[in-house]
Amino acid sequence: MQGPPVFIDISAEDQAQELRAYLKGLGAEISEEKSPKGIEDDLHKIIGVCDACFREGQEAEVESVLIDIVSIMVLIPLERSENIILAFCEKLTKAPGSKLGFVCLKALWLLFQSLDEHSPMRYHVYYHLIVIAKATDQVKMVFRDVEHLKQQFALCPPSSEQLQKLYRLLHEVLLKNNQSEQAAKVMIELLGTYTAENASHAREDAIRCIASALADPKTFLLDPLLSLKPVKFLEGELIHDLLSIFVSDNLESYLKFYKDHKEFVTSQGLNHEQNMQKMRLLSFMQLAETNPEIGFDVIKKELQIPAEDVEGFIIEVLKTKLVRARMDQAMKKVYVSSTMHRTFGRAQWQQLRDLLYSWKTNIGSVQEGMKTIAAAQLELMNQ
């Protein structure tokens, strides 16, 4: 079998002709002759049949061909290469199998890095990278976190519509890869792209955001969702009522809601048993905010847990580090030292201010005490 061409120190036109010959040798319907219309037409035709080299077990050859195509592509001025880049992206997303998909991912990543940071085409390449990452379960190769994503497009930010499309895809891919925490952050970013004028159009995104946040076993601070404009448009609807329960209400309120709206909860893809477990954790956090000592009997009653399961539940709570506490099994009590707040509003900011002021005062007292001791020691030394 003919090996892939190796292009060293030859012009883009000659490189394209070598690619034509190589692909024709693999059975592709393409002429070996250069196009009289120029290198752009050559690339269009090469990209149109480059999938002829997509063969399992020949990944090294495929990678060589794709990298050569990229090396020619980046030499063409941007205003003449946009359609070529889009055609290349579309072709690579159709590569069969995870191994070939991984090769295409690397080639497209090379193209993304090769494009000028001011180029609007970087968005389109990145979007198709996520499409391939979804198919190959390789999203970590492309996406680190939301902040890094923003840095990638700092010099040429995508439009709001483009960001919405990208964030929806990213959310889907991250959930598929069990990265629920990152998925929740992406969804919040998505809702943040809407303004007061178009927030009403974000209904489905807002519902999906709430449902994924409620289902995420690692997301407990939910009240920031209530301030998002698209979520505010849902006030009065069942999904907003359910969110409000998770933000500030207790287990009993959730159980009443579930009794009245079982089908609705299920229709949102939410699991009742997981909801109960999360509400128990949230309700315990609420108890811990105002009670430095909590008896097992209170936990049993408020969280509707059998007496024999209370200790196990407390251990699970402490593992989450949402509450820092000490369990006294003999006294059947929990002694709370600190807890994460379920909501963080004006009262919590005031509490934090008072705590910091207290620390500042105490540190000042310590400093004055140290100065007094140092002065006394100096006086003794001079006697």
The pLDDT value recorded for residue 11 is 84
Query: Which strands make up the sheet holding 293-295, listed edge to edge?
Result: 293-295, 333-339, 323-328
**Which among 223, 248, 270 is the end of a domain?**
270
**Which among 209, 238, 270 is the end of a domain?**
270
Domain count, the chain: 4
The pLDDT value recorded for residue 53 is 94
The pLDDT value recorded for residue 345 is 52
- Domain CATH for 321: 1.10.10.10
One domain for residues 330 and 264 = no
Task: Confirm whether 241 is domain-assigned.
Answer: yes
Judged against a pLDDT cut of 70, whether residue 55 lies above it is answered with: yes
One domain for residues 130 and 18 = yes
One domain for residues 282 and 306 = yes
One domain for residues 173 and 209 = yes
Residue partners of 153: CB distance under 8 A and separation at least 6: 122, 123, 126
One domain for residues 129 and 16 = yes
Q: What is the rounded (10 degree) CA torsion for 21, 27, 31, 35?
A: -70
One domain for residues 317 and 378 = no
**Taking a C-beta distance cutoff of 8 angstroms, is the pair 232, 199 a contact?**
yes
Whole domain around residue 372: which residue ranges?
Answer: 356-382
Task: Confirm whether 89 is domain-assigned.
Answer: yes
Residue that is written with structure tokens 């007496």 in the block: 307
pLDDT band at residue 360, thresholds of 50, 70 and 90? low
Lowest mean pLDDT among 212-226, 269-283, 288-302, 365-379: 365-379
* Residues 173, 185, 178: CA angle, nearest 5 degrees: 40
> pLDDT (tens digit, 9 = 90+) per residue, 95-154?
999 999 999 999 999 999 999 999 999 999 999 999 999 999 999 999 999 999 999 999
pTM score: 0.76
